[in-house]
Every structure is written in C-alpha cells, then in structure tokens.
Chains A and B, each alone.
Chain A
Amino acid sequence: MLTLKVNGKSYTVDAPDSTPLLWVLRDHIGLTGTKYGCGIEVCGACTVLVDGEAEKSCDMEAREAVGKNITTIEGLSPDGSHPVQKAWVAEQVPQCGFCQSGMIMSAVSLLRRKPNPTDSDIDSGVNNLCVCGTYQRVRAAIHRAAKG
C-alpha cells in the first residue's frame, strides 16, 4: 500500500511501490490527464509538478513521490482558470491535445522559475514533444501568460 498526496488529496493505492508515478496516477488513482508518450523520459507527455518542480512521472517510482506534493493537470485549477490554461485557450494552442497536459505543466514550472521568460528561456525550458506541431502557439501562450 502506498499513500500519495495528489492535488491536495491523499490517495492510498495497492500498487507495487516501484510502479512509475505515471501509472499510479493513471490506472490506480484515475487521473488520466497525465499522459504516457514514451516511458523513457524523452517526450514530456507525463510531466507533473512534484513539490512545484516539473518532473517526468514515467521515470519516477511511486515510492519516491511519497510525502511530496504532486500536482497534475487536473489540480492546476478547479475550473481551467489558471493563467496558463487561459492563455492556452486564448491562443487556441491544442490540436490533438495529447501532449498538452505535459506542455502546460512544463510551462507552469518555467514561469515559476522565470516569470518573464525570453524566447531562449522557452527553448531550453520547454522540451516537450508535440507531434501536432503547436510550438509556435505554445510560445505565444507562455508570453501571454507571463504578461498576465
């Protein structure tokens, strides 16, 4: 049994503690907003915040997350009103949308570190893969969110 604190709520799950956090979130807790894309830490689809820092949940064993505050896309705001979410809608960023939870979590983390990121901060801070190719709008939305 593992107890995890996700989006401010405590969840006790029956999964081996070496299971990646990604799969505990998705299959055991039922928070499916966090996506599987590669399983090897190269695509960013599974990005969540662990104590405020962006982490790829496919590569974090659930036991490493015990006692930490995990924030998933579902916990960013109750109603899609986080400034980054609003900027995403305003710029009509998502296409298929599958990468966007991870993209948004990376952007949130970048904006925490750099409230006014430059283009090159965005280049290095957001390395998530988007096969649909929404990068130009992701960049615009990050700038929009930074302006508040």
Chain B
Amino acid sequence: MTGTISTRDDAAVDSFDRRGFLQRSGAAGLLYAFSIVAPVRGARAAGPSQPIGAFVRIGADENVTILVGVSEMGQGIASGIAQVVAEELMVDWSRVSVETVNAGTTYGNPFLRGTQGTFGSLSMRGYFAPMRKAGATVREMLRAAAAQAMNAPLSSLIAANGRVSSASGTMTYGQLAALAAQQTPMDKPPLLGTGRYVGVSLPRTDIPAKTTGAAIFGLDVRLPGMLYAAVVNSPVFGGTVSGALPPTPSGSVAVVGLDTAVAVIARDTYTAFRAAQSLAVKWQLPAGASGVSTASVLTQAQDLMATGEVQTAETVGVAQGTIVAAGTPLDRTYSFPYLAHACMEVLNCTALVTSTSCTIWAPTQAQTSTAATAARLTGLPASAITVNTTLLGGGLGRKIEQDFISQAIRIAQTVPGTPVKLTWSREQDFGADQYRSAALVRARASVDAVGNVSWWTRLVAPSYAYQHGGSTGIDFIAIAGATGLPYAFAGKLVEYVRHPAAVPVGSWRAIGCSINTFVAETMVDEIAAAAGSDPLAFRQKLLADNPRALAVVNAAASLANWTTPPAAGRARGLAFCFSDNAYVAMVVELSQPTAGSLRIFTVSCAVDVGMAVNPDSVIAQIEGGVVHGLSAALWGEVPISNGRASVRNFNNYRMVRMRDMPTINVRLIDGNPNSLGGAGEISVPPVAPAIANAVARLTGQRLRSLPLLRALTGGGTSSGSTSGTAGSGSGSGSSGSTNRSDSRGTGDRSERGEDD
C-alpha cells in the first residue's frame, strides 16, 4: 500500500520525530524502567538490546522491540502500530515484540497535542504517519551503518528481513544496531510502503501471553516488600470523610484518610478488602445529595428540556431557532440511563514514593495526566516521576480518570520507600464509577411530499467537560453523533442544554454517540415509515451524495439479505453511524419469543474505517463493540437512589454471556487507503437503534427509552428498586450518617448469584 495518508500532519510528524530521535540519551533511561516489574514469563530471551532512537530496540539475538506510546486495553493498537513500524523497518514479524513506554513527550500522540493518552479512537490516526516515518528512519540508519561497516556505497545496500545486504555481503540488524544508533537520522527517509504488513491480518503480539497467564496487568504488579490497599469511597455522590478516621482494624497496617474515601493498608488484597468493608466511616454529605435518584434526575431533565438554557450546536439550512415544519412533524422524547464501565479489570494502581522519586505502575489510558497528578501530589519535578503502563484489562474511558491514581499515590506517601498496590473491590468500581451520562432528548422531524427532511433535536445531558473543570458551553462529547450526521437533511437544528446533575459522569465507549445515534436512527425509521418508505431505500436517498456511507448501508443490507423477507416471526432493523472518521451500518435480525423478551439471531455489520492496518483486529473490535452495544441496549442501566448507584457487582449488572450471543457477521469495505478511521467505538452506537427498529417492524411497538428490555415491558427508566438489594444498605444518606460499605464481594454468600 503506497501513497500518503490524508491525516498526516507534517508539522506534527516532524516534531514527533525530533522528540523521538534527538533526545536519545534521555530516552534510554526510560526504556528500561518497565523491567522493574517481575520478569514477564515467556518473554523472548533477554540479550543486550540496542536502542536506535526512541522507538526501536534491536537485540543481539535479532529480536526487535518496538516502543509505543499507546495503552493496550484489548484493541490491538500496540501491535497495530508495531506493524506500521515493522513494515518500514523491514524486519520479520515473528521477531517483533511491543512495549508501551513511560510518559514523556517523546511518545505523545500528535493528535492529542503531543500528550500521551489512549482514547477517542485517535491512536492509529495520530501515530500512523510518525511511526511509519520512525520505522523508515531506523531502517535508513541501519543502512548507513552497513555502508560504513561494509565500506560499500549506500545505494548498493538493500534492507530486508532484518538484514542489510549488498553484492559483497550481508550484515544482520543485530550486528549493525550499535553503529546504527550513532548515525544521523534522515529528515525525510524514503517510505517504502510495501504493503507487506500494513493492511495484513498479522497475529497480534500481545495474544500469546494472554493465553498463558504471563500477561501483566496493573492488578498483577508485584514488587518486593509491597503492601496492599483497599478503599471505601463515599457511598453517596460528593460525600467527604467527617471527623476522626476509624481505628485500624486488627490485622491491617494502617488507615489513611483520602477526603472522599478512606483506605486501609494490609499485607494482602483480601485482608485489605475485608478491613475496608468493616470500617465505620462518618461521611459529610452535600445538601440534598441523598435525595438524588433516577426519578429526580429525570424530573430535573424534563424541567430543563422545557426551560433550560439552550445552546445551538448545529444549524443546517434553517435560521437559528426555527425549524421548517414541512408536513406534520413527529415529536418524540427519548430517555437514556446512566451506564457503568465495568471494565473486567477493576481500578488499581501501584505507587512507590520516596523523598526524591515517585514511581507508578498503572493500567492507565492517560500517562501525561498520571505524571501530572504525581507531580501535583508529591511536589517532585517531572524528572523524578516515572509512569509505567501495564496492560489494561479494559479501559472504556474509565482509566483516563485520575481518582484511583491519586488515591494510590497518597496512600504510598504515608509509607515512603514501600510500594503499595491499591485495588478497588468490584463493589467500589461500580459504586464510585464516573458513569456514561443519562440523557433526555426531544426530537421533531418531518418529511415533505418530495422527501425533504426537517430535523430538530434538543439534548439535555450533563457535561463531561464541565464536570472535569471545563466550560459551561456546549459539551462536544455529549453532542457527538447529534451533529455532523451525513444525512442530507433540508433543514436541521441541534440544541444542547447542560444538565448539572450530581452524578459523576465520565467517558465511555462511544459516549455521546451511544445516545444520539439511537435518536437519529430510530427517528429516521419513523419518518421513513411516515413517508411510506422502506428504511433502507429512505437512507439510500438521504445518503446519495455520500458514497462511503451509502456503500456500508448497502453492504450491511446485502449481508443481511434485507430484500428477502425474514422467517415468520422475525424482523430486521437497520441502523447507521458515522463517527471517528469511520462508517458502519448494521442489520439486526430478531424475534420476540415471549412478551418482554427478545432473541437476537444475527448482527450483520458493514464497516469502512478507510485503511485497516490489521483487518482482523478491526473485525475483532467491531465484534466486541457489538457485544458491548448489546449489553447496553438490552439491560444496561445504573439506577440511582438515595444519592448512590444501585449497582454493586455483576450480579445486578447484566451483560451478554455466551448463551446470549447472536452470530455477528462483519464485512470490511475496502476503504480509501488514504483515510484512517477509528475502529474501537463505532460499532456500539448502531446496535440499540437497529434492535428498536427491528422491534417496531415486528410488533409496531416503538421503544424510546433504554434499556430496551425494560422499555419493552412498558417500564420507564428504573427507579432503582429492581436491581437486587443494592443501594438499600445502611447509612441512607443524611448528613453525618455512618455507613458500612460493601457487604458483598469478599465472602458474604447471602446475596449472590442472580445472574449465574
């Protein structure tokens, strides 16, 4: 595959490159830091290994280590970026391994202003061009070294398969590495773009260790003399510790106050969990906090819908504040619950603080922020702070946040010189999540006799940006997927009303898009029906000028045999989404075996991410996103009652299991090779609207609130009473009440198993 990538930003690439190759001495120190962690079993034979610039190390054993700045949380990105490097470097894939390296500007994503973080489906888009250049740069340094060592003209030397050869001889990269490291990097190394690795489904480098137990996640970090900590976070949103700390439980080492939480340090995780669970903590609660519930949030949202401060996010073809009502507009309201992240690996962080240094081992999506958190808490200079990124057992946006990182550092500060691993119990992970926001949306749309569509949506939702210290303006995370729809609407007005609910919100897989795509795609089906049109034909017309969008819609329809009627008792629903510079269309086929239940048979997806660096990894991400979308669509909700989340563990947060699985068929469209899109999030948003559209076609019932199985049985958003016993613990939230947290997860057998 040749040609330039349209996302390439030469200035960013050059600055990335300068950082990567000119700070060699600084980088070398960072490169080895990860090896402090217990040796990785099954790792390639360790031999002397020569860094060449900041991104590549070559061993005397010819093994090649590619150093990346991304966090690997299952999306295959570390391996994918290594493919990009390996292709230009001209090495054998079987010799390649990948490491995520420390925070430091060298490894920052040019698309995140050079900071290091992995979110927003921005990694391949940000790193592709600079890492490709990095591979080419090192290859040319190896060739230059060979020219010197073999005393041969550069033009006679060919780099391939980890060797540089000329008519007169061959040297391996391992033999050349030390000399190569001393060469001056070229400004514009030639890009070979052979297509040998880029665009090929190579096996991921991280997978073998994930089948043997050798993969090291944050939770698996072990250090000599390490202590273990657990926390109790305020059970009510916004609560702080009041009065004296409870005494240290016997068998534990210490109790540490953390303002919004209390930690216990012990000699193993289980002891720490038990001790944290036994603490009687007094909490000071903000006024009214304990009155916050799903119902109160909804009532507030309804008031804001009617009278809140409206900000205009997008207008197309209409004067601001007006909507052309051609024909009779449909007028619909949609509601969405809070959702948890529920990463398979709970939040955790290991920290070691001394008077002169702070070292962190964490499953973090945000290395630059983590280093900043450490600097702020310890007062140490950046040079004294080391952030080691472990593998992440899922991230989903939750591991961008700094709450668990700062807790671990503060705990470690109380035992200088001793490393401490903080682990949140699953109950804490659910109970003190920063949730995918709830939302209320009103939409009006109409279609005239010749098919012109007028469209108005008003989103009432909390602002992620505002809650994280940003402005009160339009929250572009919340509004994502409501603006920028590729449909050719004649008139469009998109509005946002900020909802200052007390429930903490955070990022999530596809965040705003997971809400707004439901509205857009079910409303498009409704107006198609109002126009007497087939949902596919209606979309084809609205997407006629957008060939990539049209192609995925058509491909999904053909994959699902859209024009052939389904078997009796079944129906199909279609949905489309454009996000992260990628296109996806999806057809769900389902039946309703009994009232209130759904059986999903197939999910057919067509996807265009532009160039897929590793097609099989893209397909895996699409499959995973579909499953994530199914869990959220069918069951996902975190009811709020008495100012706290009612969900405490997986037994009251139902997610897809093997027995629930439909067949997922994915067709990758051969996309524009000069375009890069994100694959990690795009398949989540279309799932719920495709299901709702199928249900409407099957039964005539229109579902407009999530989760759909609750909506199907006529229930609105849960009030919090239906999810087992959670949320009914003691300390129901008056100011200064005493609360015992977590009755489960550490040995109490009485309340388990509802989902099993």
Cβ-defined contact, B658 with A92, below 8 A: no
Contact of A73 with B by CB under 8 A: yes
Nearest-Cβ distance from residue B339 to partner chain A, whole angstroms: 12
| Separation of A133 and B655 alpha carbons in the complex (Å) | 10
CB-nearest residue of chain B to A125: B658
Cβ-defined contact, A127 with B425, below 8 A: no
Residue numbers in A under 8 Å from B76 (CB-CB): 95
Contact of B74 with A by CB under 8 A: yes
Nearest-Cβ distance from residue B200 to partner chain A, whole angstroms: 13
Q: Provide a sorted-by-A list of 6 A–B residue pairs whose CB atoms are within 8 angstroms.
A: A27-B228, A39-B425, A42-B651, A42-B752, A42-B753, A127-B657
Q: A96-B391, A131-B628 are in contact. Are A38 and B210 (CB under 8 A)?
A: no
| Separation of A140 and B661 alpha carbons in the complex (Å) | 13
Residue numbers in A under 8 Å from B656 (CB-CB): 133, 135
> Which of B343-351, B456-464, B484-492 has 4 or more CB atoms under 8 Å from chain A?
B343-351
B322-338 contacts to A, CB under 8 A, are: none
Residue numbers in B under 8 Å from A33 (CB-CB): 212-214
B204-222 contacts to A, CB under 8 A, are: 204, 206-217, 219-220, 222
CB-nearest residue of chain A to B430: A38
Contact of A26 with B by CB under 8 A: yes
Nearest-Cβ distance from residue A30 to partner chain B, whole angstroms: 6
Contact of A116 with B by CB under 8 A: no
Nearest-Cβ distance from residue B221 to partner chain A, whole angstroms: 9
Cβ-defined contact, B228 with A74, below 8 A: no
Cβ-defined contact, A41 with B756, below 8 A: yes
Cβ-defined contact, B268 with A19, below 8 A: yes
Cβ-defined contact, A30 with B207, below 8 A: no
Contact of B92 with A by CB under 8 A: no
CB-nearest residue of chain B to A45: B344
Cβ-defined contact, A23 with B203, below 8 A: no
Cβ-defined contact, B213 with A73, below 8 A: yes
**Contact flags (1/0) for A112-148 with B, using CB distance below 8 Å?**
0000000000111011111111111111000000000
Cβ-defined contact, A137 with B228, below 8 A: no
Residue of A23, A77, A89, A136 near B207 (CB, 8 A) is: A89
| Separation of A36 and B344 alpha carbons in the complex (Å) | 9
In the complex, the number of residue pairs spanning A and B with C-beta atoms less than 8 Å apart equals: 204
Knowing that A80-B211, A95-B620, A129-B657 are A-B contacts, what are 14 other residue pairs whose CB atoms are under 8 Å apart, sorted by A's residue number? Answer: A27-B269, A35-B219, A38-B650, A41-B753, A89-B203, A92-B620, A94-B211, A96-B73, A97-B206, A97-B217, A100-B210, A133-B626, A134-B623, A134-B624
A80-100 contacts to B, CB under 8 A, are: 80, 85, 88-89, 92-100
Residue of A28, A98, A101 near B268 (CB, 8 A) is: A28
Summarize A's interface: helix, strand, loop or mixed: loop
Nearest-Cβ distance from residue A133 to partner chain B, whole angstroms: 3
Nearest-Cβ distance from residue A109 to partner chain B, whole angstroms: 14
**B binding-site residues for A, Cβ under 8 Å:** 38, 41-42, 73-76, 203-204, 206-217, 219-220, 222, 228, 268-271, 273, 342-346, 391-396, 423, 425-426, 616, 620-621, 623-628, 649-651, 655-659, 661, 663-664, 744-747, 749, 752-753, 755-756
Cβ-defined contact, B211 with A88, below 8 A: yes
| Separation of A69 and B443 alpha carbons in the complex (Å) | 61
Interface size of A in residues (CB-CB distance below 8 Å): 61
The list of the 10 closest CB pairs from A to B, nearest first, reads A33-B213, A133-B627, A98-B393, A96-B74, A97-B210, A95-B74, A32-B220, A73-B213, A23-B270, A94-B210
Residue numbers in A under 8 Å from B75 (CB-CB): 95
Residue numbers in A under 8 Å from B623 (CB-CB): 133-134, 136-137
Cβ-defined contact, B222 with A40, below 8 A: no
Residue numbers in A under 8 Å from B425 (CB-CB): 39
Cβ-defined contact, B207 with A92, below 8 A: yes
Cβ-defined contact, A101 with B649, below 8 A: no
Cβ-defined contact, B213 with A31, below 8 A: yes
Residue of A20, A80, A98, A123 near B270 (CB, 8 A) is: A20
Cβ-defined contact, A131 with B394, below 8 A: yes
Cβ-defined contact, B204 with A42, below 8 A: no
Cβ-defined contact, A129 with B211, below 8 A: no
Q: A32-B222, A38-B649 are in contact. Are A135 and B393 (CB under 8 A)?
A: no
| Separation of A34 and B212 alpha carbons in the complex (Å) | 10
Residue numbers in B under 8 Å from A40 (CB-CB): 426, 649-651, 744-745, 752-753
Cβ-defined contact, A72 with B213, below 8 A: yes
| Separation of A137 and B391 alpha carbons in the complex (Å) | 21
Residue numbers in B under 8 Å from A134 (CB-CB): 620, 623-624
| Separation of A42 and B756 alpha carbons in the complex (Å) | 6
CB-nearest residue of chain A to B629: A133
